[in-house]
Structure 1
């Protein structure tokens, strides 16, 4: 029987993960418009990640515990107690931010979130059920599988993907699907590093350091083809994507080992879809209509999240 303390911890982790998903949608909105305005999605992604890296580096300087955690991770890698590839979660995060800069401004935040969610939920189900990348193995019970299915169907309903919107089945839709699957790996690896470091800040700093490096390489390699940015917008908020990342990545590294990769993924879905609908209503970046189906789909997504997170059972 679940104790009141454990129940409260689970509810708190789910709520924090939903808020994290809302921040992801906000970052997609910001980076999507920055990529469109600059005419350089890769540079928009690099600006987002590198600004977050600078913020976290300043925080690291002020936190002896985080620096000790970073040293512990490096020592574990040196002694072979932690595989070096465990620190590569930032590659998945960098790919997500790259797709934000490339296609979120074209698809709109809601449709972009559909693509991310589809990859996120399916990828997380696979990781969770096999206990890969250091996460506890969680049996894929019928209730969890049904909850994930309900969540995906809910997202599809909410944005009416079948309505024949442009780009729904193009490469612009495929990229965020792949990046969504990559976030499951990112969350699992970051959670493992956080446990070794005993510091969410240290794990997040490693995530941003790796992601910034990967995006810098991508931008430099692609520069001859892109020709660089067309213009640098002057609105300050277009450069706040990295700040949002420094907020939602630590939440994910903490909650992933409490509710599992799939539980985290579906909680993120709930936050992402609700926030993306609100953003497309209030400050749209793409041409996307909101209808009664949107509300129905969002409700189904929340139901799916509840089914997945409350049906968690670890394999023995």
Structure 2
């Protein structure tokens, strides 16, 4: 998979939404694996580990991926981007860790809202600073309106699932962790997109993401193993191991899309797709306690409208004599 010419929003937006639609499926698989293992950290490690194995096979098989891998050392040596971009996958590991640590306290809905809030706000800043491969993109009033409307829409769509958080003071740290993880996700996408341009393919950036993320999760799991011991044995059903391959698709296409859409619009589009995917998954394969209300559907539709608004230019006042 080589870096193609810049995609128009007509193509890029539906593709980003399609990528986001599959995210809830990965979450459902990893969640089921965590329950089966009685160890959410081990489930995250299995997900990253299977993704790493797949990316190693792809990098050894495809000529484009092999050529990209050969560009890693020259890219770092020549200073094409900062060396810490190689560790972008650690941000993904932090996000997975924050899920396993805080969802039991906050619930999935509140976790999603605060993470989207952090990612949306940082997406504006990352685009404004020109960190990603799409270059500098101004924080126009229309983009700001789109971000605010997206956050409100996500809150509305997930509002039927909100539970009682408990004491606000004791929930402050659990809320701040997914906010921080969401903020860093925008930087991860920018780092991956920039590195992919210099490698000539997003496959190499994806490989290095899984190397870094797997390393962090393995270290954390080994510490947990020493403290609490192992969980249940690995299941034999093949579908428990699809989370990693799905993650490969998300990261590779995300690194590809930020070049055309920018960090903010890529993140918002994936969020919209995530809501659509969750809705479809709850309709077709409902989990215990699934809630589908009018707010769920209306909030999802409003999120998609907010994404389209973000792509529109801010109307300029006409000049001259009427």
TM-score, normalised to structure 1's length?
A: 0.87
1:272 aligns with 2:274: yes
| 1:189 aligned partner | 191
1:129–1:139 Cα contact (<8 Å) kept? yes
Shift of 1:231: 4.2
Call closer, same or farther: CA 1:179–1:69 in 2, change over 3 Å: same
Q: Which has the larger radius of gyration?
A: 2
Instruction: Provide the rounded CA distance (Å) in 2 between the counterparts of 1:104 and 1:234.
Output: 27
| 1:220 aligned partner | 222
Q: Which runs of 5+ in 1 are unaligned?
A: none
Please report the RMSD computed on the Cα atoms of aligned residues, expressed in angstroms: 2.7
Shift of 1:281: 4.0
| 1:88 aligned partner | 87
Call closer, same or farther: CA 1:277–1:92 in 2, change over 3 Å: same
Instruction: Provide the rounded CA distance (Å) in 2 between the counterparts of 1:64 and 1:243.
Output: 20
Shift of 1:302: 0.6
Partner of 1:160, secondary structure, is helix
Instruction: Provide the rounded CA distance (Å) in 2 between the counterparts of 1:269 and 1:303.
Output: 12
2:237 is aligned, of 235, 256, 269, to 235
Partner of 1:278, secondary structure, is helix
| 1:152 aligned partner | 151
1:125 aligns with 2:107: no
Aligned length: 307
2:19–2:270 Cα contact (<8 Å) kept? yes
| 1:23 aligned partner | 22
1:105–1:285 Cα contact (<8 Å) kept? no
Call closer, same or farther: CA 1:40–1:140 in 2, change over 3 Å: same
Instruction: Provide the rounded CA distance (Å) in 2 between the counterparts of 1:286 and 1:221.
Output: 32
Structure 1 stretch displaced more, 185-194 or 276-285:
276-285
2:120–2:147 Cα contact (<8 Å) kept? yes
Structure 1, residues 184-206: CA drift from partner, whole Å, max 9, x if none? 11110000110000111111111
Partner of 1:132, secondary structure, is coil
1:117–1:180 Cα contact (<8 Å) kept? yes
Shift of 1:107: 6.4
Structure 1, residues 230-287: CA drift from partner, whole Å, max 9, x if none? 3433432222100101111111011101111001011011011111233334434563
